[in-house]
Amino acid sequence: MRLKRPTIPYIIWMAVFTVIPIVLILLYSFTDRSGNFSFEPFIKAVGYTNVFLNSLWIAFISTVICLALSYPLAYFMSRLKRSTQNLITMLIMIPMWMNFLLRIYAWVTLLQNNGPIDTMLSLLGIHTQLIGNQGAVIVGMVYEYLPFMVLPLYTVMSKIDYQLIEASGDLGANMFVTMRKVVVPLSVPGIISGVTMVFVPSASTFLVAQYLGGTKDIMIGDVIDKIFWSDQNTGSAIALILMVAILFFLIILNFFGDEEAIAT
Amino acid sequence: MKKIISMALAVLLLGGLATLFASCGSSYDGEINVYNWAEYFADGSGGTVDVVAKFEEKYNIKVNLTTYETNEGLYNMLKSSNSNYDVVFPSDYMVEKLKNEKLLTKLDLAKIPNQKKIIDRFTNMDYDNGNNYSIPYSWNVTGLVYNKTMVKGKPESWNSLWDKSLSGSILMFNNSRDAYAIAMQMCGINPAAFTKADVDKATVKLKEQKPLLKKYAMDQTFTEMENNQSAIAPYYAGDIYTMMTNNEDLVGVLPEEGSNLFVDSMCIPKSAQNIDGAYKFINFMTEPENSAANMDYITYASPVDGAKQLIDKDVADSELVYPPDSYLDKCYTFRDVDEDVYSYMQEQFVKLMS
């Protein structure tokens, strides 16, 4: 493909903010402290395998929950009056205008001992520890990334021609079959971009686990953050492994739909 | 049409903002870039003096303030980026490290006449004896805070952080240096200077503690303690004083075995552009009146002679903010540790948490 002059600013942008940083990460992860070629950062990075797998697991669960919650919501939204649709989209967007950390703080207040939820449950005779465990971390993640699942699904679904659903009904399909044979296949691009937009950032997120989790809940993002204090090489190596894992995930996802649906 | 109008409005709005920014800073004689901890200058809120604005007015020098979270963040910024900060605020051990790596300007004390007002203890610190590279800005110690409705008895030692009866409601520092310092004290190791073997011993001690902990926390200690979520935590004593004013059930203690005396200082990096401005700034902040205003705000102690008398009496009388000399003699101050040992400690700490 021949380059056209107007693309030059974008090429510079990509070079400065994408290519050079990635090259630097590569460079750091294959050198030791004094700058010599070494595999040491990767050997050290292997020590965090359990955290790594745990993060992917938490991201996976969060993505599944987000999908399960968003799919029906997006479907019903797309069947509503236009103005109501806009209203609901707005309501989903509004929390995103607030700082991410403040929203996590809000969850800390909600879930803490003698907080509103705990008090209500105590009145019903249920006494549990709501915060400081993996469940709380997942709640925080789902809350944080739900809009990123709802919006692409909703966009795709609102484009589905209602006549197709009617036709399916006329041909004798019940609601369930219509869903399975018509709506789901047509919404695959939305599912793929939603899953990408939730899974990728949640696998690498940090602070959520520090605020909502206990001593056992640490995610790979937190490890990278902490290790960077004193050892950029190992930090870069972990970041690189995470990038490769995510790339791998995107390639697999690629098999399920057409390329354009993937938001990277 | 609607589109054109909204576009025009957007352009006007942006343009307005731009002129607003441009209108500032046009009439100053110069500017200095100050890199400090967040919330470390009195900012005029709640009846305090806006010290930075006062400086700008007095010298007609604009102050560009940016903030950092950790000494290591500051170090990385000075070491590996083309930053040009004129004044930075590293802690004790970081002063020594920056000094050893030749990242700091040797100070001309004649240009900081107020340096003579620094209390002797703080001009004679081992990390920079004689204040040749750093002028102390604030100091304080680490201490313990507990909730008297949740803890039986009166904790007096770091030992209480290993108390099995408090299991599940103990907090611990979420930063390696402070966490390891406590563990090392428990093992009889001097936390100011240590080896890898010492780190290993302390790691064992911290592993023993982990199952008893609610979480590793820094800033969260405030909300955890003030909202009665946790029973006991180590933290910086001046901050414990603040927590106590927000929750009457909290009690602050200076552990009997002594603790970490830390000093945050003002330094001029080698890369500074406006060195004259930096000297003026440092001298200004070392004025007893201004130091008192800042310390009133951050509730840490002032190293400047005569500042203590000017701050809020309740703060000045608190043993947490101004521990007595007899206590300070039991305390240790961090020194620069070999890079290798330091990153080993950091690595062990992350491993401990994972």
- Write out pLDDT tens, residues A23-65: 999 999 999 888 889 998 999 999 999 999 999 999 999 999 9
**Confidence band, pLDDT 50/70/90 cuts, at residue A136:** very high
Question: What per-residue confidence (pLDDT) applies to B80?
Answer: 79
Question: Hey, is the C-beta of A227 within 8 angstroms of any chain B C-beta?
Answer: yes
Domain span at B171: 142-261+332-353
Q: Please indicate whether, in this complex, the C-beta atoms of A215 and B174 are within 8 angstroms of each other.
A: no
Instruction: Tell me the shortest Cα–Cα distance from A112 to chain B, in angstroms.
Output: 7
Q: What is the pLDDT of residue A7?
A: 85
Q: Specify the amino acid at residue B253.
A: V
B277 pLDDT higher than 90: yes
Q: Are strands B232-236 and B135-147 parallel, antiparallel or unpaired?
A: antiparallel
Contact A229 B210 (CB under 8 A): no
Whether residue B179 sits in one domain with residue B133 = no
- pLDDT > 90? residue A256: no
Mean pLDDT, rounded, for B14-27: 58
Percent of chain A with pLDDT over 70: 96
pLDDT band of B334, cuts 50, 70, 90: very high
Give the residue, A256 or B159, on which the prediction is more confident. Answer: B159
At A114, is the pLDDT very low, low, confident or very high (cuts 50, 70, 90)?
A: confident
Task: With respect to residue B12, please indicate whether it lies within any of the assigned structural domains.
Answer: no
Residue B69 lies in a domain: yes
Instruction: Please report the pLDDT score of residue B21 as a whole number.
Output: 56
Q: What pLDDT is attached to residue A6?
A: 79
Question: What is residue B85's three-state secondary structure?
Answer: coil
With CA atoms as reference, the chain A residue closest to B170 would be A215
**Contact residues, chain B, for A222 at CB < 8 Å:** 353
Residues of A whose CB is below 8 A from B215: 132, 210, 213-215
Q: Please state the length of chain B.
A: 354
pLDDT at position B331 is 95
Give me the percent of chain A exceeding a pLDDT of 90.
Answer: 61
Question: Does residue B278 share a domain with residue B194?
Answer: no
Per mean pLDDT, which range of A35-49, B136-150, B177-191 is the poorest?
A: A35-49
Check if A230 contacts B (Cβ < 8 Å).
Answer: yes
Q: B57 lies in a domain?
A: yes
The answer to whether residue A128 neighbours chain B at the CB level (below 8 Å) is: no
Q: What mean pLDDT, rounded, does chain A reach?
A: 89
Residue A264 confidence (pLDDT):
40
**Predicted pLDDT of residue A262:** 44
Instruction: For residue B78, tell me if it sits in a domain.
Output: yes
Question: Are residue B73 and residue B120 in the same domain, yes or no?
Answer: yes
The pLDDT tens digits of the residues spanning B33-71 come to: 999 999 999 998 877 889 999 999 999 999 999 999 889
The residue among B101, B106, B113 whose CA lies nearest residue B131 is B106
Phi, psi of A59 (to 5 degrees): -65, -40
CB pairs under 8 A between A and B: 59
What pLDDT, on a 0 to 100 scale, did the predictor assign at position B25?
47
Let me know if residue B17 belongs to a domain. Answer: no
Query: What is the residue extent of each domain of chain A?
Result: 11-261
The distance of A199 to chain B (nearest Cα, Å) reads: 21
- Residue A263 confidence (pLDDT): 42
Backbone angles phi, psi at B304, to 5 degrees: -95, 130
Does some domain include residue B56? yes
Q: In total, how many domains does chain B have? A: 2
**Nearest CB to B350 within list A213, A214, A223:** A223
Residues B245 and B267 in one domain: no
* B-proximal residues of A, 29-48, CB under 8 Å: 33, 44, 47-48
Q: Give the type of residue at A254.
A: N
Structure tokens at B40: 């470390």
| pLDDT recorded at residue B121 | 94
Q: Is A238 on the interface with B (CB under 8 A)?
A: no
CA atoms within 13 A on the CB side of A194: 28
Residue from the list A33, A47, A211 with its beta carbon closest to the beta carbon of B220: A211
| Inter-axis angle of helices A49-78 and A82-93, nearest 10 | 160
A51 touches chain B (CB under 8 A): yes
B189: its two tokens? 């190791």
| pLDDT at A229 (0 to 100) | 79
- For residues B291 and B341, state if they share a domain: no
Interface check A154 vs B, CB under 8 A = no
- Cross-chain Cβ contact A230/B346 below 8 Å: yes
B34, B115: one domain: yes
pLDDT for the residue numbered B17: 61
CATH of the domain at B229: 3.40.190.10
**At residue A261, does pLDDT exceed 50?**
no
A229: nearest CA partner in chain B: B72
Q: Chain-wide mean pLDDT for chain B?
A: 91
* pLDDT tens column, B73-131: 899 899 877 888 999 999 999 999 999 999 999 999 999 999 999 999 999 999 999 99
Q: Which helix (H) or strand (E) holds B216?
A: strand B213-217
Q: Are B127 and B337 in contact (CB under 8 A)?
A: no
pLDDT at B26 exceeding the cut of 80: no
Q: Residue written as tokens 């101050």?
A: B333
Please tell me whether residues B229 and B349 are part of one structural domain. Answer: yes
Q: Which residues of B touch A (CB under 8 A)?
A: 70, 72-73, 76, 174, 176, 210, 213-216, 220, 223, 227-229, 339, 342-343, 346-347, 349-351, 353-354
Per-residue model confidence (pLDDT) at position A231: 84
Residues of B in contact with A44 (CB under 8 A): 347
Report the percent of chain B where pLDDT is more than 90: 82
Q: In this structure, is residue B11 part of a structural domain?
A: no
- Same structural domain, B214 and B275: no
Which 8-state DSSP code applies to residue B91? B
- Distance set, CA A259 to CA A129, A191, A193, A252, B206 (Å): 44, 13, 10, 11, 49
ipTM > 0.90, yes or no: no
Measuring CA to CA, which residue among B228, B248, B221 is closest to residue B150?
B228
- Whether B110 and B59 map to the same domain: the answer is yes
Q: What is the pLDDT of residues B236-262, one digit of tens each?
A: 999 999 999 999 999 999 999 999 999
CA distance A226 to B350: 7
Residues within 8 A of B (CB atoms), A 160-219 only: 210-211, 213-215, 218
Q: How far apart are CA B129 and CA A110, in angstroms?
A: 50
Mind telling me how many Å the CA of B277 is from chain A's nearest CA?
30
Give dist(CA A213, CA A132) in Å, integer. 4
CATH class of A11-261: mainly alpha
Find the CB nearest B216 among A51, A215, A230: A215
**Residue closest to B75 by CA, chosen among B55, B54, B98:** B98
pLDDT at A211 over 50: yes
Residues B275 and B343 in one domain: no
Q: Are residues B161 and B245 in the same domain?
A: yes
On whether the CB atoms of residues B198 and B117 are closer than 8 A, the answer is no
Dihedrals φ, ψ of B9, to 5°?
-65, -45
